[in-house]
Amino acid sequence: MSRQIKLIWDFRGQVSAKTAEHHEIHLKEYILAENLSLNITGFETLGEMHAIAFMVVTDENMIQVRDALKPHRAELY
């Protein structure tokens, strides 16, 4: 089984939570459009002024998704 990688987009400011929540919608649309095997997405509020949106991809899809969507960072899932 290949590794799973969590791609993360950071949002900061007073509306960061709403922005991250909205960004997740676009991540789901991308998964459907590209017919990716994993469909794990989400958003989290990390503080009053910081939130993230994320999606999980496999090693095989990481380069394609990274180049297309330009996440801010990544970590093993």
Q: Which helix (H) or strand (E) is 60 found in, with range? A: helix 59-69
Residue 69's pLDDT is 98
Share of the chain above pLDDT 90, in %: 96
N-to-C CA span, the chain? 13
Residue 70's pLDDT is 98
Q: Is 90 exceeded by the pLDDT of residue 63?
A: yes
- For residues 52, 63, 75 and 12, what is the CA-based torsion angle, rounded to 10 degrees? -20
Write the CA distances from 17 to 20, 51, 56, integer angstroms: 5, 5, 19
pTM for the full predicted model: 0.94
